[in-house]
């Protein structure tokens, strides 16, 4: 009976110890799991942080560009002057005859008002003005104001380049 | 003669452009006109050889230098009138024959070509202004190349020299429509090196052949010059208009020169419109 009691007690103690050990293992395992989860969470947060940093940087750049656009907004030819095309004789062949004639006159005059162009091409001044402005928008010509006159010209920034 | 720049061009090489350009210049200068002859054939310069007798001092500045902005217009021109005993002035704008210069020309950018065409226009202004030149003849390189197109764009009249080679005529027809009409330039065709039988053709037969050619090419034919063996075999340094002034080749060319003098380049647009309607 005592043996039986002792045996049962042993079993109980063993089971208790076993379960205690088992629980300890489980607790350790869950701690590890939590640690792993936390590490993963920190990593994810770092990634989110990095992406947010890039987004903020991009947003700042966009704001700067917007400010620049607003600053030069009044100058409608800003983008045309940025994107300059070389109006060489071969390129003229791809232009319509009406525009080609204006460029050819500017080869000769170097710099001209719409009126000067009209005198050479024997077309009306408003027609010539429209053609020259179209060429400015296309990036083939540039224009500048001198007093009351607006002059159209072919910009040669790489004049001395080979 | 109304002051004008005449470009001599062709769709292919070997049509006799240089022979026609040099002798046309000499014909005008012999008549007492002041002429400038420019060599825009930078890939194969030849005027320096043709006029070697007339160039007394070593050339310091070439036409290449002027277009590169390295010298003024008057520095790039050599006066050859005295050496040939011409009544009028004959100023030569020579292309540099050195291999480095030819290579350099081939490497030019589109930006440079824009500057070059503007400089060509400024050269014409200087020639027809202070220098008192009546006629500027431009010898070009054959086919569609930047230098030849620049010459066509900057000239008032273009003479396209062609032979009766069928392949060449096909190329010429395309070039006339797609290049000359596109730039709205007064263009005339000169048929050179035609088979020798044409020498004995009656004027009626010549006229009917010319009118047929004009119908095909849709451009005026300003003359038909027969092939002369002695002209083909002549030395490169021989200026026929001076050395053999009574040669029949020159009689033909003198007729062409007269027709060119009377050409009015102002009615080009009307011509193009008429052609479009027809």
CA distance linking residue B133 with residue B136, whole number of Å:
7
Asked if the Cβ–Cβ distance from B112 to A162 is below 8 Å, we say: yes
A102 inside 8 A of chain B by CB? no
Q: Which residues of A touch B183 (CB under 8 A)?
A: 92, 100, 104
Per DSSP, the three-state class of A153 is strand
Which of B9, B107, B111, B116 is the best substitution to test chain A (most A C-beta atoms within 10 A)?
Answer: B111
For chain B (278 residues), the mean pLDDT of every run of 10, in chain order, is 90 90 95 95 91 86 94 93 91 95 90 91 94 95 89 93 80 85 89 79 80 88 87 78 89 93 67 51
Dihedral of the alpha carbons of B208, B209, B213, B215, in degrees to the nearest 10: 20
| Res B56: pLDDT | 78
Closest CA to B133 of B94, B93, B91: B91
Structural tokens at position A154: 């072919």
Question: A146 to chain B nearest CA, in Å?
Answer: 22
- Residue pair B15/B165 in contact by the 8 Å Cβ criterion: no
B69 inside 8 A of chain A by CB? yes
* Predicted model pTM: 0.75
Backbone angles phi, psi at B191, to 5 degrees: -90, 125
A90 inside 8 A of chain B by CB? yes
Asked if the Cβ–Cβ distance from B121 to A108 is below 8 Å, we say: yes
Question: B149 to chain A nearest CA, in Å?
Answer: 7
- Which is higher by pLDDT, A60 or B15? B15
CB pairs under 8 A between A and B: 68
Q: Is the reported ipTM for this assembly greater than 0.85?
A: no
Q: Of the candidates A93, A108, A157, which has its C-beta nearest B182's C-beta?
A: A93
| Res B184: pLDDT | 85
Beta bridge partners of A146: A149
Structural tokens at position A50: 């990095």
Structural tokens at position A87: 């109006």
pLDDT tens by residue, A74-83: 455 444 445 6
- Which is higher by pLDDT, A90 or A61? A90
Cα distances (Å, whole numbers) of residue A33 to A19, A24, A37, A133: 20, 14, 6, 70
B146 inside 8 A of chain A by CB? yes
Backbone angles phi, psi at A154, to 5 degrees: -95, 120
Structural tokens at position B27: 């014909």
The residue of chain A with its CA nearest to that of B69 is A160
Q: Which residues of A touch B7 (CB under 8 A)?
A: none
| Res A162: pLDDT | 43
| Res A121: pLDDT | 92
- Which is higher by pLDDT, A5 or B276? A5
| Res B106: pLDDT | 87
| Res A75: pLDDT | 53
A97 inside 8 A of chain B by CB? yes
Q: Is the pLDDT of residue A84 over 80?
A: no
CA distance linking residue B208 with residue B213, whole number of Å:
9
Asked if the Cβ–Cβ distance from A104 to B153 is below 8 Å, we say: yes
Closest CA to B112 of A82, A89, A111: A89
Closest CA to A105 of A150, A153, A144, A146: A153
Asked if the Cβ–Cβ distance from B111 to A92 is below 8 Å, we say: no
Q: What is the mean pLDDT of residues A138-162?
A: 81
Asked if the Cβ–Cβ distance from A158 to B109 is below 8 Å, we say: yes
Residue carrying structure tokens 């730039």: B183
């Amino acid at each position: 009976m005592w043996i039986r009691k002792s045996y049962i007690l042993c079993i109980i103690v063993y089971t208790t110890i076993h379960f205690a050990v088992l629980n300890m293992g489980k607790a350790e395992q869950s701690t590890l799991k939590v640690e792993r989860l936390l590490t993963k969470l920190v990593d994810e947060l770092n990634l989110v942080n990095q992406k947010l940093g890039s987004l903020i940087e991009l947003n700042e750049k966009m704001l700067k560009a917007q400010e620049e656009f607003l600053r030069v907004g009044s100058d409608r030819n800003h983008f045309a002057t940025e994107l300059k095309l070389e109006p060489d004789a071969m390129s003229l062949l791809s232009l319509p005859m009406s525009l080609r004639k204006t460029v050819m006159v500017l080869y000769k005059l170097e710099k001209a008002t719409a009126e000067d162009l009209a005198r050479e091409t024997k077309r009306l001044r408003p027609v010539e003005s429209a053609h020259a402005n179209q060429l400015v928008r296309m990036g083939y010509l540039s224009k500048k104001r001198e007093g009351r006159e607006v002059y159209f010209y072919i910009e040669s920034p790489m004049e001395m380049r080979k | 003669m109304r002051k004008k720049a005449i470009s001599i061009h062709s769709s292919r090489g070997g049509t006799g452009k240089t022979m026609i350009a040099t002798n046309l210049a000499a014909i005008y200068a012999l008549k007492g006109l002041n002429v400038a002859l420019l060599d825009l054939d930078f890939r194969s310069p030849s005027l320096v050889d043709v006029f070697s007798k007339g160039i007394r001092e070593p050339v310091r500045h070439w036409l290449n230098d002027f277009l590169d902005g390295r010298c003024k217009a008057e520095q790039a021109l050599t006066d050859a009138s005295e050496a040939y005993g011409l009544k009028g002035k004959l100023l030569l704008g020579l292309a540099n024959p050195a291999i480095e210069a030819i290579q350099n020309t081939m490497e030019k950018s589109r930006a440079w070509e824009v500057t070059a065409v503007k400089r060509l226009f400024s050269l014409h202004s200087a020639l027809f202004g202070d220098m008192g030149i009546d006629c500027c003849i431009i010898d070009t390189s054959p086919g569609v190349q930047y230098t030849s197109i620049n010459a066509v764009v900057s000239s008032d009249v273009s003479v396209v020299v062609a032979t009766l080679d069928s392949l060449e005529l096909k190329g010429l027809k395309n070039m006339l429509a797609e290049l000359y009409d596109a730039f709205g330039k007064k263009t005339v065709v000169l048929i050179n090196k035609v088979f020798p039988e044409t020498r004995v053709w009656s004027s009626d037969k010549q006229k009917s052949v010319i009118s047929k050619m004009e119908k095909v090419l849709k451009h005026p034919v300003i003359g038909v010059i027969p092939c002369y063996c002695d002209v083909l075999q002549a030395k490169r340094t021989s200026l026929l208009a001076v050395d053999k002034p009574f040669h029949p080749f020159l009689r033909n060319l003198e007729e062409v020169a007269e027709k060119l003098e009377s050409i009015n380049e102002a009615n080009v647009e009307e011509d193009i419109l008429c052609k479009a309607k027809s």
